[in-house]
Structure 1
């Protein structure tokens, strides 16, 4: 199960939050200003921690409970290692909050600020959220202006720091460093279709027969003049896969990469055994321009990520941090579900708009008729007076 990533752009915050009005069940009264953690010289309020946590909770519940059919309580209380999934996720959320404040405390070093325009967007988003939710829901999610605004400022700074901290790395990568080769390969899987139509593992004797078949396939391909793996695979009813690789890669299988990396262009490997089946590969190119350029991009991104991670790690080590476990424990997910009402689909909106327009047109027509009638009555009254 993956940990969902969070992204919140303050410039688009109004739209993000307006479409995500949170609804929660009743919750005991809490002090939203109570300190849940101290990060360097900043005190993290329950309100900010709770608002961020509830937003993330809603994303998890919306994504996973839809997939699994579990109730929120079942989802959050499931075992994850030696703890519940709720505690596992909350550990990650607290680390997020710590990083928010640490990054904001180093923002001046990079000239990162929240602009006046962004402040206006943040203020509007917070006001719209506060106005659009009932008191009960706001109590559940700490959906009050000052907590929302602080979170959005932190998120805005974090996003800008994410860019700034990655700048300045060496973006020059040679073809030699990034060189990628290309192989085509076929896979003889140690599986067959059972009587019930489901896939099942072959017996040892069947595996031996399949191995002989793969070895024969490899030998005939090696001895052929064209070494046409596509034609040979089609003849045997096999699928051909294509993969870029270099000596450091492990896919499609580490031993296949090792064997292919020793070959010249247009040469074919022997049948290579693995736990799940056998591979036969042909090297089709010793240098692929497109794959090499993609590898250059990956290497540069890796350098930027390493620089960012290194800086953040050092700042975390240099920052005194403490968490008030008693206050943090008050933010629980299992028995406090959070829902985001789904936005109406466009067709429904169009239907409503059309219906509204029709009603408006009918009302306008009725007004016109009334006005005409009034004019007519007025003319008759004038005629009678004369």
Structure 2
């Protein structure tokens, strides 16, 4: 479950918004868009989540692709599908997961407290009070709908916490051990292209071919009588033409060979020069200079890359990794390390980086939690999730609307509105850090959110 847009949806319930009319769905918000067992999801609930997600995503991606660009009508992932359809699928998948979690609350003794219910009710009422009728209509936002979505998010947060409590958080240094290296890569400059060589060789071959063709043309224009009377002459001509053709072919072959040899010589020279540059850096470091200073002295435009890795490393160039693994702390590889089209200079910073190792431990625990959480939902996912495509297809993205931030006055002064976050799943594999915030906490702090956050949604015609 991606917890799509959880932070803004939960923390922004009391936000004041404004938007123009959108081309939305013409169906009744009470229509069933999907169902799982006895649980039915209405179009209003799905549309409410979708429009919040649309505003967040447009605000984030619109700045990247150009103001006024309707990103939901673009194929951003190269799948052949408009991004709006991807978001629609994501929203329904999230609702499906939330429904599953709600159905299994008793498995983990999860319940909504009176405080949870009161916070949800207050946030829903505030949202309705703070927004215009047009906004509420286009978002399918009724007090009941807003309360329902907040309830699902609160249950999801509580269930996630309960499920992940069973994860083993013990990770040994050996399992998470990380090395840290610094390196720079010097690419071998391009030499005369092989395309030009091939073109010249082809021209020579064509010239030889034209000579042969011309000889044949002369022979064919001779009349039968002339051919009979001048057979010996023609034979001699053909012999001479053949000799000329062979000579031309030999010349072309020699020229191609010379070009190839020259190209190889130039490439070898460039490669040798690059190797010597890297070796010079190595010698300078072994003489007492820092790697950074030595690299900058060789090429001002180059910068060092710092990289930490462990036993499961699959990203580094194999030659680079093998060379690094042979080094001790502070040691630099005594020779340039050859890459695909250049040379590396690499130095071992630490064969056991404490900070990087501790960070890796956190990543391992996070991965364990996600795996357990996903597996648990998959285990419970036994009922069919039936989507009414006819109803869902009426929800379109013909208009643009974005989430805007404005500065608001509070008792302590003017504060910037909270930054909108967006889940860019399908474009990027990394999840936004803001999505990890718990909806229960956001709901319980409704009053402070009201003071600090004012979000505005505004429609813009394409």
Looking at structure 2, the residues matched to 329 and 228 of structure 1 have their Cα atoms a distance apart, in angstroms, of: 62
> Where does 1:4-19 land on structure 2 (aligned, <5 Å)?
5-8=4-7, 13=10, 16-19=12-15
- Specify whether residues 8 and 171 from structure 1 end up closer, same or farther in structure 2 by C-alpha distance, changes over 3 A only: same
Partner of 1:173: 171
Q: How far apart are the structure 1 equivalents of 2:26 and 2:278? A: 72
1:319 aligns with 2:319: no
Question: Match for residue 342 of structure 1?
Answer: 405
Q: For structure 1, which runs of at least 5 residues remain unmatched after alignment?
A: 193-202, 352-386
Q: Which moved more, 1:162-171 or 1:16-25?
A: 16-25
Query: Which residue of structure 2 lines up, in the alignment, with residue 366 of structure 1?
Result: none
Matched, 1:78 2:71: no
Aligned-residue Cα RMSD (Å) equals 3.1
How far, CA to CA, are the matches of 1:41 and 1:210 in structure 2? Answer: 73
Instruction: Name the counterpart of 1:137.
Output: 135
Query: Counterpart of 2:169 in 1: which secondary structure?
Result: coil
Write out aligned runs for 1:143-222 (5 A).
143-189=141-187, 208=271, 211-217=274-280, 220=283
- Evaluate the alpha carbon distance shift between residue 234 and residue 344 of structure 1 in structure 2; reply closer, same or farther with a 3 A threshold: closer
Which residue of 18, 21, 26 maps to 1:25? 21
Question: Are 1:57 and 2:54 matched, yes or no?
Answer: yes
Q: CA deviation at 1:66?
A: 2.7
Aligned partners of 1:94, 1:41: CA distance in 2, in Å?
17
Distance 1:9 1:168, change over 3 A: farther
Equivalent residue in structure 2 for 1:281, among 317, 332, 346: 346
CA contact (8 A) 1:21 1:132 kept: yes
**Equivalent residue number for residue 295 of structure 2:** 233
The equivalent residue for 1:114 is 112
SS at match of 2:152: helix
Q: Secondary structure at the match of 1:23?
A: coil
The corresponding residue for 2:442 is: none
Alignment size in residue pairs? 331
Give the one of 308, 314, 317 matched to 2:373: 308
What is the CA–CA distance in structure 1 between the aligned matches of 2:413 and 2:166, rounded to whole Å?
49
Normalised by the size of structure 1, how large is the TM-score?
0.75
Cα distance in 1, alignment partners of residues 42 and 116 from structure 2: 22
Pairwise CA distance, 1:314: 2.0
Q: Deviations over 1:264-304 (max 9, x none)?
A: 34443342344574321122322222222222222122211
- Three-state SS of the structure 1 residue aligned to 2:13 is helix
Secondary structure of residue in 1 paired with 2:90: helix
Conservation of the 8 A alpha-carbon contact between 2:99 and 2:152: yes
Compare relative contact order (CA 8 Å, sep 6+) and give the higher one, 1 or 2.
Answer: 2
The verdict on how the C-alpha distance between 1:137 and 1:9 changes in structure 2, with shifts beyond 3 A counting, is: closer
TM-score normalised according to structure 2 size:
0.64
Q: Is the 8 A contact 1:221 1:268 kept in 2?
A: no
User: Radius of gyration: which is bigger?
Assistant: 2
